[in-house]
Amino acid sequence: MAERVGLLVFSDGSVLQGKGLGASREGVGELVFNTSMTGYQEALTDPSYAGQVLVFSYPLIGNYGISAQALESRQCWVNGVIVSEAAAHPFHYESTNTLDAFLQAENVPGIAGLDTRALVHKIRAGGVKPVSLDVVDASEVKMRTKQLLAIAKNFDYSAINFVEKVCVPNTTTFIPEQADKTVVLVDCGAKTSIARNLVERNCTVHQVPYNTSAKDILALKPDGVMFSNGPGDPEQLHTTVSACKELLGQLPIFGICLGHQILGQALGGKTFKLKFGHRGSNHAVQDVNTGKVMLTAQNHGYAVHKIPAIADEWLVNCLDGTNEGLTCDKYDAFSVQFHPEANPGPYDANSLFDKFLEKI
C-alpha cells in the first residue's frame, strides 16, 4: 500500500507534512485549536466546528476510541483534524472504533505526527488563518501543494452561512415521560446535550430551524425560548436576530454561545471576531456581581462588545476580559458565551438550565 501523506497548506504559503489520517480527500477551513484533555469525539461532532480545521493540543487523541454514547449531533462537522499522535489501539468498554476509522467513515481528512504545540503557538501569535489539507500518496505531494495553496487563499470563513448547513431542516420534538413545560430550542447548530438537559428537567422541546419566525415560534405555545450554539459569523444571522428581537418581552429567553451573540445583537449590541477564540473545557469565567468563578466549556470565535444600555454585563472571561454573559431584566432574558451542558467539560454552569426554568 502506498504511503499516505497528510499535507497541510496555509494561506500564507507555509506547508507541513505528516501521516495521513482519516479520509483521503481535501478539506478547507479556518485553523483553530482546542485545549481539552478529553472529549475529542464530542468536539468532532459539535456543529459549532463547521467550516474549521481542528488542532487538538493534547498530545494523544483517540486513546479511548469512539462510542455511540458520545455523539453530539448526527455527524462529524469539522473539515479536517490535526493531532500529534492518533491512538491505533484504543481501550474502553464502550469503544467500537478507532479515531482513524471514524474519520474515514465520516469522510473527514486528518493529519497525525505534527507538532501541535507549535501549531497552537502559530495560531496564538498570528490569529486563525485559512488552511487546506489532503491525504495523498507521496508521489502527489508537489502537485497537490500548489492546488491546496490556491484553495486556502480563496477561503473566507466569515462570508459563509454555516448555520443553514448544520441546523435541523424541520421541527423535531422531544417529549419526556412527564412534561411540565414547553421550550422552543432555536437550532443554530445545537448540541444534543442541550435538548437532553431540558428533557431531563421534564420539558417538551421543539427544536426548530434557525430561520423560524417569531410568529411560528409563538404558535408552538412555548413557556420559554432558547437560542443555541452554532458556527460562523453571528452577523450573518439577520433573520434569527430579528426573530429574537420580536420575541423580547413576550416570554423568557436564554441564549447559549452563538445564541448569546444573537441576543446581544437583538438588544442592540455588536459582535467582533476574536484573534484565536476560546475552545476548551477549562475556561474560567467570573460573575461581576458576586466575584464567583466558574470553570466552563467553550467553543467560539466571536464575542459580544459594546454592551447595550438596556442590558447588564453579568460574566467576564478571566483571561482576556471579554464578555461571557448578559442579563436583561426588562425582557426577562439572559445569555452565556459558554456551554452549560458541558459535554465534555466541568458542570459548574449546569445549574443555568434550572435558572432558565425558574423564569418560565
- How many CB atoms within 10 Å of residue 303? 22
Burial class (CB within 10 angstroms; exposed 0-12, middle 13-18, buried 19+) of 235: middle
Given the residues 26, 30, 72, 341, the one annotated as active site? 341
92 annotated active-site: no
Strand 15-22 to 4-10 pairing: antiparallel
- Catalytic residue, from 206, 283, 300, 339: name it: 339
Nearest-10 Cα torsion for 270, 209, 132, 101: 140
Q: Give 321's contacts (C-beta < 8 A, 6+ positions apart).
A: none
Q: Could you give the C-alpha distances from 98 to 27, 41, 94, 152, 341, in angstroms and in order?
A: 21, 11, 12, 29, 26
Active-site residue, from 72, 257, 260, 300: 257
Our answer to whether residue 341 is catalytic in this structure is yes
Extended strands (E) in the chain:
4-10, 15-22, 27-34, 52-56, 60-61, 80-82, 85-86, 109-112, 130-137, 172-174, 181-187, 203-209, 224-227, 253-256, 270-287, 293-305, 312-317, 323-328, 333-336
- Contact present, 221 and 196 (Cβ < 8 Å): no
Q: Is 247 helix (H, G, I), strand (E, B) or coil?
A: helix
Which residues pair with residue 18 across a beta bridge?
Answer: 6
Nearest of 63, 202, 69, 53 to residue 131 by alpha carbon: 53
Q: Classify residue 157 as left (phi > 0), alpha (psi -120 to 50) or beta.
A: alpha
d(CA 107, CA 225): 34
Catalytic residue at 328? Answer: no
Task: Give the whole-angstrom CA distance, residue 118 versus residue 113.
Answer: 12
Catalytic residues: 257, 339, 341
